[in-house]
Structure 1
């Protein structure tokens, strides 16, 4: 273990320990470093650590469900809150009270504090949520090559594809590689087999596949579509089946695009001219997901997403507090656009947010939804509009490849 990794792991373990403490004990409200000193009087927590805890506490937000989120994007930058004119460009900048603390003039704090902050921020960057299995394998190879693909597959099954980097980080910290998987399925990408679902014509699913081994093709194999990852293999629970005879190819189906659709590779047996049997599962591709939601700039508790339902473009607004929602933007509306450069008034379709219907609760958020009559297609995006044509949020473009 290198020095930087040791410091990083120690920092993360400290934060984990503090989170467990907060679950067991009720602490008074902390408003200053003096309050922190009183809490940690009998604990071996250094003055430098108190200052860094104060720094992080002032740059997070806590949802109504007590989930904690950074007030900046750790995957993009460290935020301007760490300003320090004397810091070099390769180390994040921090407030003056951290690098020149009162009463600690003889302690070389400046670089030490920035380096600890840098390591924490780098961890957030490296292990941030994504569903790229190849990137996950690279992270594994960088930090612990003793975790094999079977164990990595277990981490993906337990944590989910998008949170798997966080699961890997936890495995590295507590050195638990042999955890029991929640489910027994295997991920195709870990076997270098690629099965993808993308946006086809008229809002239908297009299947792409490549690197299917010849020995599987010789025994008959099919790509089978299921409504979601939790759908069982038993019976006829699948929504579409396509026998494939080549290692690479594509096929346009008549299945409407929906969030959660998943392609699985199965052994396949024809039992007559018009009948067939889906047999043993080989591996699974990732679920079809809409692009990530984006925050509405004037309010951190509102987010916007463009999603698909039955092949049509839909809007979803995530709201932290529905009761207070209408007072923020009584005349807000969301528009659908055909390109990022389209003028705000040149929308394809639109609807008042007040006329959206209530969607499912997302844990930290209530949701409001509206589906348009426009078929989903690559290049479409949604904008959140207030004050006539003032745009305060814009979703990513709908991708050609989901």
Structure 2
């Protein structure tokens, strides 16, 4: 009997681990992955400005270790502790804490750079976008080193204290992506080199326009162009080809008119995180396998 109960408990433990694994958020590992997000409709463009700032304010070494350069415990840049009460992210192990940054109203000392705090009109948001990062506190003598092991972009919204984070637009940001974004630093690398490195179709005249409009933020302007504008141009070209008709050997395309998409307004009565369809299918498959394993374990215990 004890043997059977032990097997059953093992099955339930495996089921618990499976449930935890399927609730993971989508991971973005490169700038190409950033292009998959619908910036400007379901996700504010402003979050790219915030992410660009964060990638350049933290420190990263050759071992992909990320360290904070500011103290979130004293509200630097308006940052503060995040309790994860909605269950948006996985529970923190002992010695770890989540923090959040991005609330422009809490940046009372004006520490955030002007391009984040007062962006160009096209990139203004509703102060919804946030970066959540998990910190491991490591005590080394008189000094406490704060090492980041997880970074997320998400949205925070609500009214009159009834606020929440949006799990449908929460993404994990890898160290590799942060490194790529750092290459577009303020007054940094050559625009033409960045264009060629990331396969952009920006012309020389467009690069000159970035310099004239963005000044020392020209690299940021190119990053926004790659992530937002080139993605839109690709979708537009695909739509034109799909709407075209053939006359002889020529393809005659109809003028493409982008469909009207109403501005994204998240539900304020959100009650908890929802998994996407892919995770639902994975969940059902894992549960089915675990049920079969449990049945065989119970039958074997009775032999």
> Is TM-score (shorter-chain normalized) higher than 0.5?
no
TM-score, normalised with respect to structure 2 = 0.29
Larger relative strand fraction: 1
TM-score (norm 1): 0.23
Structure with larger RCO (C-alpha < 8 A, sep 6+): 2
